[in-house]
Amino acid sequence: MESFCRKRVRHFNDPGHAHELTFSCYKRLPLLSRDRSRWWLIEAIDRTRARLDYFVLCYVIMPEHVHLIILPKKADYNIPWFLKRVKQSVSRKAKTWLRENNPQWCTKLTISREGKKKELRFWQAGGGYDRNITSKRTLLTMIQYIHNNPVRRGLVSLPTEWKWSSAAWYVGIRNGPLVIDEIKW
């Protein structure tokens, strides 16, 4: 039985703040290494952005984790709700697909919780990382840092070569999988 020591992330839902979010796959397994699961994530982000009124300013999908910068359009918002909607959508699709097409992976992702039934996990437990961004300078630094993730990892030579990122959007190539919202900061 796996014991849980869940880290608590404090979310500060302050009006006008953008949020740099990072969240990981269960045990940092490369569950986002296939286009199929990446598309599920893109669709979930896009749908959640529309339903909950957020701007998406930047993203990169790595094989085992995600970086995302979002900005709420409304003063009253809740980052955990945004994360929950995105992560649950992807998790449900992944679980269904795995049960039907690759059941041996289900055992790798199944945990037993004390007093509860077994549970198949796609995402690492906890809220991930949430950093409030309050200045344009910090925002630009974070965007550059996020876009360089695939380069630091040796997946590509240039940030714009990574399809699962908004890096190309920032140099005028507008054919990426997720439309980036352009705002005046």
pLDDT tens, 46-100? 999 999 999 999 999 999 999 999 999 999 999 999 999 999 999 999 999 999 9
Dihedral class, residue 163 (left if φ above 0, else alpha if ψ from -120 to 50, else beta): alpha
Q: Measured between alpha carbons, how far is 131 from 20 in angstroms, rounded to an integer?
A: 5
DSSP assignments along 23-60, one per residue: EEBGGG--TT-SHHHHHHHHHHHHHHHHHHTEEEEEEE
Q: Is 181 helix (H, G, I), strand (E, B) or coil?
A: coil
How much is the pTM?
Answer: 0.90
